[in-house]
Structure 1
Amino acid sequence: METNQAITALTALGHVTRLSAYRLLVEAGSNGRMAGEIAEALSVPGATLSFHLKELVLAGLVESESRGRNVCYRANYAAMNGLVQYLTHNCCGGEQADCEPTRAIDCAC
C-alpha cells in the first residue's frame, strides 16, 4: 500500500459512522450486509449512510454489489490487511513478533 492510499483509508475510517459501518462489514464476513441492514443497525438514515459507504468504497476498504434495487456491501479484507501491514512496516526496531496483533487478521471468511 502506498502512503496516499493509507491516508485515504485512514481518513475514511476517521468518522464514527464510517468506522461503525466498516466494523459491521468486517464482522459480516464475505456475505456482507445489505445497505438497509447497515442503516437499521446503526440507526442512520439511508441517504446519510449512502454518503458514508461511498467514502469507504472510494477508499478501497469496501466493495459494493447491486442486487436488483438493493446494494450489498462487504469489507475488502486485502485492503484492510494492506493498511495494517503499511502501519506496522518496520515496526518495533525489526522485532516483528512484538508488533503482530493478538488475533490473526487474514480472515478466511
Structure 2
Amino acid sequence: MDPAAAVVALSALAHEGRLEVFRRLVRAGPQGLPAGEIARATGALPNTLSGNLAILAGAGLVASRRDGRSIIYSAAYGRMAGLLAFLMDDCCAGEPEICAPLAAIAERGTRCCPVEP
C-alpha cells in the first residue's frame, strides 16, 4: 500500500462512528450485514450511516452487494490487511520480538477471514 492510500484509509477510520461501523463489519465476517442492521446496532441515523459507509467504501475498506432489496456491507479484508502490513512494514528495527504479538494478531485475523490479494 502506498502512503497516500494509507492516509485515505486512516482518515476514514479516524471518526468514532465510522470506526464503530468498520469494527462491526469486521466482526460480522465475510457474509457482512445489511445497512438496516448496522443502523440499529450503532444507533446511527440513515443519512449519517450512508455517509459513513460511503467514506469507508471510498477508502476501499468496505464493499457492498445487493441481496434482493437489501444492500449488504462487508469489511474489505484485503484492504485491511494491506493497511496493517503498511503500518508494520518498518517495525522492529531488527528486533522481531517487538512485533511478534502484532504478527500473531494479524495471523489470527487471516485464519478467520480469508484475505483476497
TM-score range, shorter chain: over 0.9
1:99 shift after superposition: 1.3
Match of 1:15 in 2: 15
The 10-residue stretch of structure 1 (44-53 or 63-72) with the greater mean CA deviation from structure 2: 63-72
- State yes or no: 1:108 paired with 2:109: no
Q: Deviations over 1:9-59 (max 9, x none)?
A: 000000001000000000000110000000000001111101000100000
Q: How many residues align?
A: 109
Identity %: 42
CA distance in 2, matches of 1:31, 1:7: 27
Aligned residue type for 2:110: D
CA distance in 2, matches of 1:96, 1:47: 45
Stretches of structure 2 that go unaligned for 5 or more consecutive residues are none
**SS in structure 2 opposite 1:4?**
helix
CA distance in 2, matches of 1:94, 1:10: 26
Match of 1:29 in 2: 29
- The runs of at least 4 aligned residues of structure 1 exceeding 4 Å deviation read none
Q: Deviations over 1:83-102 (max 9, x none)?
A: 01100112120323421414
The 10-residue stretch of structure 1 (87-96 or 28-37) with the greater mean CA deviation from structure 2: 87-96
Stretches of structure 1 that go unaligned for 5 or more consecutive residues are none
